[in-house]
Amino acid sequence: MKRRLAFLSWGAAVLFGAAALFLPPQGEIDHTVLLLCAQFLLFAATLLGVDGYFDKIQTLLNTKKR
């Protein structure tokens, strides 16, 4: 579920960035759109990073118990 949410968040950031290029003034991205894209990308990175971090910890704990 986290990976799907992270992928959707990344996709939303890309779509908002691409759509902003076609809105007036054309070819210019407003700073609010950039902030929104940054927040979506940060959310995606957080979900994937935290998930990967916990997987590594679980692996380390399981190997130490043996």
Given the structure tokens 């939303």, which residue do they identify?
A: 12
Q: How confident is the model at residue 66 (pLDDT cuts 50, 70, 90)?
A: low
Kindly report the pTM of this predicted structure. Answer: 0.62
Query: Picking from 8-12, 25-29, 48-52, 57-61, which range would have the lowest pLDDT averaged per residue?
Result: 48-52
Task: Identify the residue with better confidence: 56 or 9.
Answer: 9
One-letter identity of residue 60 = L
Round to whole Å and give the CA distance between 58 and 54: 6
Segment 33-65, tens digit of pLDDT: 889 888 988 888 888 777 666 777 778 888 766
